[in-house]
Amino acid sequence: MEEYKQLVEKAKEAMTYAYAPYSNFKVGAALLTDTDKIYTGCNVENASFGATNCAERTAIFKAVSEGELRYKAIAIVSSSKEFTYPCGICRQVIGEFMPNGHIILENALGEIKVFEFKELLPGHFTQEDLNK
């Protein structure tokens, strides 16, 4: 649980870099790899809303671009008093690389929830599904 606290703190740091001029909804994520490296990400909005990228995918794409393909956990924080769960696209991307990992959520009140990935997206689409 101690490494999860560190992940939450790293996610909070990443959230300070969020570019959210349209929604003012800032999100930060910190990803723990199987090799114990941490990659962070923030949400990056765009006037063409479809070009916006979530914090979770930013962190994952940074890790993939550095050759890290397997993860233990991801922490997600936001500027909201509510818990910020990963969106559907992020859940699918998380499942590609972390089907057995943990998702740690902290709200602006400091409350924490921890989930196994499979709890948030059971039966997600996988590479094996492409070969059926």
Annotated binding-site positions: 54, 87, 90
CB 44 within 8 A of CB 58: yes
Please say if 2 is a catalytic residue.
no
Catalytic residue among 2, 3, 9, 56: 56
Query: Residues comprising the binding site for Zn(2+)?
Result: 54, 87, 90
Q: For 77, phi and psi rounded to 5 degrees?
A: -130, 160
Q: 23 CB contacts (<8 Å, ≥6 apart)?
A: 45
Question: Which amino acids are annotated catalytic?
Answer: 56
